[in-house]
Amino acid sequence: MGWALVAAAEPHHRKGWLKRFDPRFWTVDFARPMMASVTSDVPGSLRVETIFYRKQDLAGLIWEAEDRWDHPLLAYETRRDFRHTQLRFRWRSGGVKPLDALHGPTLTIEGRDAAGAPRAWYVRLWNYAEGTAEDAVVSLDFDALDGGFLLPGEADPVWAGDIDRMFISLVPPTYDGGDGVLGAPAAGWAEMSGIVCSGSGSVLAIGDVVMPELDPAKGGLGIASGYDDSYHLTPARLVRQMVQLGYRGDVVHYVGMSHYMRLEAAGGGFSASVAGGVLNAPCAAWHAGFAAACANAGLGVIWSLSYELFDAYCWDVWKQRASDGSPALTGWEPPSTLLSPANAAAMGYLQLVARAFVAIGAAAGLPLKFQVGEPWWWIASGGRICAYDAATTAALGAASVPIADVRGSLGAAQLAMLDALGVLLAGSTAALAAAARDEAGAAGLVSHLLVYLPTVLDPAAPAVRRANVPLGWATPAFDVLQLEDYDWVTGGRGAETAGARAAMVLRLGYPVAEQHYFSGFVLAAEDRAQWAAIADAADGARRAGVARTFIWALPQVARDGFVAFDGEDVVQAFDAVDFPLAIGREAMVATEFSTQIVSSPSGHEQRATEWAEARMRYDAGPGIRSEADVRALADFFRARRGAARAFRFRDPFDSSSAADGGLPTAVDQMLGVGDGARRQFALVKRYGAGDAEQVRSVRMPVEGSVRVSVDGLETAAFLVTDEGEILLDVAPVLGVAVRAGYLFDVPVRFAEDRLEVSRATFLAGEMASVPLVEVRAPW
């Protein structure tokens, strides 16, 4: 599988055209606790749903001059000049301030004036409306547009030549500029229909790239997404990206932990509520649109619901707690918390949420699929397990005992408590899946379980799997087991996944061919280099034979411009076979770099090296000593299809980690220093010293030749991964040196597609030429 990061679209990518103000590309934004969504289910129209909890709540319906939300290959062009553009639409609304009211819908335009000074203009839509305050046709000409409440007396002419964004404000009917909680949640809505944009400034170029689907025979590649990161976009915009980036089959959609719930005022804040239904109206409308868009595009949806809830909205008695009473809080800011599997009210709430989303899928005619996402007992800092909330303590009774640190040595009573916690967790997930299945009814439902490996199989806390990978999850408790490991992958510990996958097979019984794998994600844009490891992990899962691999997640894929495609494996085709060793021993060797040299008229030079590592070339011709060698070489050449397929070659001068080229020892090469968590170390060989030192990656150690030492002591507690890296059984402690020695081969290919040997010249002693060239390791 090949991949790339596209920083920006090239002109040839933008081969489509878009009318400015296309309904699919508007967004909404607002401050908590209110909620709003925008959908574009009807051509030429959009609808905003809102729910207000406070007098001061305000939602903005936004159009941006710069497309910040689409993948670079699919984004519309940035054009801040809105002149020579006219916009016309029908406005209908209810439950929000009407057009003619003070604080009614106002178009705020943010940009710069003709002199380049930052400005904002406030255009009262009622001034450009014909009709009633809740049903009118609005016509805006950006060449003749005035801000101000009363026209013409308060006219503030808009200069539309340099606009960043514009938004229409929506507020509750009681909005007066003051603060206060509403007596009851207030639902509102607004529609823009018959949207027509005209004029010479009305057309934008837009990316219209369509990536092919990855090979279905290899499991293809699916995409995951989440409502908490996409609530502000239209469903149509998301589904367009998924399809055109080549993702097919099922979409894993995490319903999130902070935007789907209804709220009620409680204790000076707001808490999750089921009054009037478990989902708020904007969320329900958005997901109905999303389900319909997926169905129309031929995508399935796996509805994903976790035990995670926005902490500010969670009832205190629902939370998992550590032994000191502190709640389980994640590292997000603001934090989320984890619901206690033993709390009947919390679990009942999740079951209602599951039913609501399954019902949305059923209404759209989708095959019904549901995922219990990352259910676990939270492990807080210092190894403190959060299993001491009142409900859990009551459920365990005498089995609840102190566990100061799950990473330490645990006694029989403590292990028994972990087993009992596993029973509680398994029971809660079974009930959640059963509720989803019951809602599906005769249509049936495929259940999924997502497990986050770095936490549940933490090598520093092996006993935790008793609680967080309970035997009650063993097949056939769920139809599909899904595994996720992004912290390992982005932390350079991806080799641990193969062993963890095997451990899960042994513990739960789901064969690899019935598992799914989640690869990703990159939290921050500045860490986009982590996509290399994520793509490798996804490709490794496909090679391992998992049923389906998903990239997590679409918002980060779009932000960083990640694309994946098949075909790179053909370019890097490799056969794990050795070049005939006897022939190779006499090879001539050339070491080459690529350096750009620019000479000035004075004779001074500027030199830039283009390769981080040398590239080796060989001529194996001198090793051909007999007709048997010629036949062996010809046979090997045909099997490699000439230059098409690479293979292993033993460099006659440099094939050992030892400085003198002799037999390797366990302390030849420094691989790295322990940090208490890292177990995976890449093999390297160092040349030179000081500032001139060059570090060569070694990806093809000779089987059985690798020797490893930790803190100077040789150890056999390791394995060599398929990628040629060392995976220690136990992570070295902080500051401890890891070294290794080994024999190694070089990946090469034939430099030419023709092999020429003449019997006459060979018998006359003329040497054949068999050029070989190094290739980069194909993984």
- Amino acid making up residue 437: R
Compute and round to an integer the Cα radius of gyration of the chain: 32
Per-residue three-class SS string for 659-670: CCCCCCCCCCEE
Contacts of 12 (CB under 8 A, 6+ apart): none
pLDDT by residue (tens digit) across 447-503? Answer: 999 999 999 999 889 999 999 999 999 999 999 999 999 999 998 888 888 889 999
Phi/psi for 357 (5° steps) reads: -75, -35
Find the mean pLDDT for residues 218-224.
86
Find the mean pLDDT for residues 431-440.
98
For the record, the structure tokens of 102 come out as 């003070």
Which pLDDT score, from 0 to 100, does residue 593 have? 78
Which pLDDT score, from 0 to 100, does residue 622 have? 87
| Residue 428: pLDDT band with limits 50, 70, 90 | very high
Find the mean pLDDT for residues 310-332.
96
Phi/psi for 668 (5° steps) reads: -65, -50
Give dist(CA 489, CA 297) in Å, integer: 32
CA 600, distance to chain mean position in Å, is 48
Which pLDDT score, from 0 to 100, does residue 571 have? 44
First to last CA, the chain: 10
Cis peptide before 632 (omega within 30 of 0): no
Give dist(CA 295, CA 238) in Å, integer: 13
The DSSP string of 565-586 is: ES-HHHHT-EEEEE--HHHHTT
Strand order in the sheet with 163-170: 27-30, 59-64, 163-170, 106-112, 118-124
52, 186 contact by CB (below 8 A): yes
Q: Are strands 86-94 and 181-198 parallel, antiparallel or unpaired?
A: antiparallel
In the predicted structure, residue 691 carries a pLDDT above the cut 80:
no
Directed axis angle between helix 281-297 and helix 235-244, to 10°?
Answer: 30
DSSP-derived 3-state class of residue 281: helix
Find the mean pLDDT for residues 113-124.
97
Which pLDDT score, from 0 to 100, does residue 778 have? 57
* Greatest mean pLDDT among 45-54, 598-607, 643-652: 45-54
CB atoms within 10 A of CB 212: 10
Q: How far is CA 665 from CA 114, 704, 715, in A?
A: 73, 13, 12
In the predicted structure, residue 763 carries a pLDDT above the cut 60:
no
Which pLDDT score, from 0 to 100, does residue 281 have? 97
Beta-bridge mates of residue 137: 90, 130
Beta-bridge mates of residue 38: 48
Q: How far is CA 366 from CA 220, 295, 299, 302, in A?
A: 20, 6, 9, 10
The helix (H) or strand (E) run that includes residue 302 is strand 300-306
For the record, the structure tokens of 483 come out as 């595994």
Q: Are strands 46-54 and 181-198 parallel, antiparallel or unpaired?
A: antiparallel
335, 311 contact by CB (below 8 A): yes
185, 263 contact by CB (below 8 A): yes
DSSP-derived 3-state class of residue 111: strand
Directed axis angle between helix 412-440 and helix 344-363, to 10°?
Answer: 30
The DSSP string of 496-541 is: HHHHHHHHHHHHH---GGGEEEEE----SGGGGGGHHHHHHHHHHH
